[in-house]
Structure 1
């Protein structure tokens, strides 16, 4: 059983990824920590509690902070995810699910200390909570099983950015946090736009999910109407790219991804803010801020047909 803390800003694709984890027999979602981005921290936390309540999840939910480390806030992505973060579907006025008394980064620290070597952190939003956790308690680097991040872009398959020409939205939203997390002494795999934009779910595919998954299908179909319309209006796609679920799929089926290792730095200011730079060689340059950092892993390719079949099989098997 793979135990995870899911760090997230739900978010339509976040909700799809969380449901994939919840449906997977091999994953136990121990905790859900919320961050800002796709919606305000209030909305993302409410959405996490709503998903827990609606689908009978046992995971604790811990609310995160609402400001990036550099204090430069970006507006919630309501254009992509709707005003409520879940495609403007109707949500209940009252959600009777308690929050953890701990703030998200303290929840991460305490949980890793209680279950050393057992927990994988899967982060699909801004990396603020993880940065605060590893800065407060560097010893958790030795206690985590691994860290899987949906974020960044390294130029493979022609994908370099989605918020700016050279920055992916999660990393741009808190580049200081991303640089801290990626260069901390723990094993990181980055599943970025290089692979997430290789996988698409069409409207016909989503219709098939709707009719074949009694537990999740209608909900997934409903929340993705807004999301699919955005992708059609913006990029002319029939359906959408599969971002956050790619991080969960990497945990479930790493063999369908191609990866490589190297040193990574994040540009934290200026026109290239949020750009993730990968150094694959072992050469040490006269000036080299990469050389002393730990080598981390990036995903550079994926088998999209296998991905979609496995997502379908897991979601529709419940």
Structure 2
């Protein structure tokens, strides 16, 4: 089976990190590149975190390219109160030895997808600033990408404000550009992703994953929220990567999605019309998640990522 190629545009971020681990541990995926955007924390931290994750996991040869530091028009907001000042909660990762790739994330996205048209899925799990700038700079991106999958929005209630989800509200003008760019956006929002709960038994599974569990997975999840037998924090961003691996995990409905950019109390709201007129649908919106199958997919991938780290440590040459 040929692995599906993906670019992960992200703002690590605890759940971004957990999504990257999922992609790395999945033999079904090939990570072509990681691009960063300011979001959960500032760009300097999101880029540093992506570099730390690359080296910690052993993502050799995967470029990390920094992108937009803030939104197109608005003042920057963040979620450091949720993810910690560094963005990775209580994770214990070494400082990276290698730097980010030269250039800008927007150009990397355009160039990589144009070089392999129809083959690369763009997975956007942070604010959509880089994606908006890329499709504005190269409108044919909407035709060349295999699929655009975003983690963002909600057709019920937000988490940044009562109306808006964080990734959309962080740059609503960029999100509006993305939804109006002429492609069909695969949208996994809070309504489905909130069910991807890392409950107590999930955390215990993570504890058995060696250094990956001890230094990254468990500290991230436990910083994110309390895990109990029936409840725990949702690892939202992993849902977008999981969809690329198995498109049957979510149920989707066609919809017309418009992003509110002028409302005083509603800016960043994804106004979702499921009763859409013919030819007006611009999105496939996730309405549910098969939670049991989600964890049946995620946990083996985490174990594979842990095994790869262990194998790399075993085969590493001893220090002189």
Please indicate, yes or no, whether the TM-score normalized by the shorter chain is above 0.5: yes
1:261 aligns with one of 254, 265, 273: 254
Q: Which residue of 2 aligns with 1:287?
A: none
Q: Deviations over 1:76-96 (max 9, x none)?
A: 21111111111143443x422
Q: Deviations over 1:196-241 (max 9, x none)?
A: 1122111331121221x34632220122221125x89xxxx84201
What TM-score results when the alignment is normalised by the length of structure 1? 0.89
Residues 201 and 308, structure 1, Cα contact 8 Å, conserved in 2: no
What TM-score results when the alignment is normalised by the length of structure 2? 0.89
Q: Which residue of 1 aligns with 2:58?
A: 56
Residues 214 and 316, structure 1, Cα contact 8 Å, conserved in 2: no
1:308 aligns with one of 289, 295, 302: 295
2:69 aligns with one of 66, 70, 91: 66
Q: Which residue of 1 aligns with 2:100?
A: 99
Shift in alpha-carbon separation, 1:91–1:209, aligned structure 2, 3 A: closer
User: What SS does structure 2 have at the residue aligned with 1:29?
Assistant: strand
Shift of 1:249: 1.0
Structure 1 CA distance, aligned partners of 2:276 and 2:234? 33
Q: Deviations over 1:37-90 (max 9, x none)?
A: 11110000000001011111131111011120123221x211111111111434
Q: Which residue of 2 aligns with 1:78?
A: 80
Structure 2 CA distance, aligned partners of 1:69 and 1:172? 12
Q: Which residue of 1 aligns with 2:268?
A: 274
Q: Which runs of 5+ in 2 are unaligned?
A: 308-320
Equivalent residues in 2 for 1:1-318 (5 A)?
Answer: 1-57=3-59, 58-74=61-77, 76-92=78-94, 94-155=95-156, 160-211=157-208, 213-214=209-210, 216-218=212-214, 219-229=216-226, 238-269=231-262, 270-283=264-277, 295-317=282-304, 318=307
Shift of 1:34: 0.3
Shift in alpha-carbon separation, 1:188–1:78, aligned structure 2, 3 A: same
Structure 2 CA distance, aligned partners of 1:246 and 1:144? 20
Coordinate RMSD, CA, aligned: 1.9
Structure 1 CA distance, aligned partners of 2:242 and 2:234? 14
Structure 2 CA distance, aligned partners of 1:282 and 1:296? 11
Shift of 1:118: 1.0
Structure 1 CA distance, aligned partners of 2:303 and 2:23? 13
Q: Deviations over 1:132-151 (max 9, x none)?
A: 00001101111100000000
Structure 2 CA distance, aligned partners of 1:306 and 1:105? 34
Structure 2 CA distance, aligned partners of 1:90 and 1:282? 47
Shift in alpha-carbon separation, 1:90–1:283, aligned structure 2, 3 A: closer
Structure 2 CA distance, aligned partners of 1:203 and 1:227? 13
Question: Structure 1 stretch 304-313 or stretch 168-177: which is displaced more?
Answer: 304-313
Q: Which runs of 5+ in 1 are unaligned?
A: 285-290
Q: Deviations over 1:141-175 (max 9, x none)?
A: 111000000000012xxxx1111111100000001
Structure 2 CA distance, aligned partners of 1:63 and 1:153? 27
Structure 1 CA distance, aligned partners of 2:183 and 2:231? 38
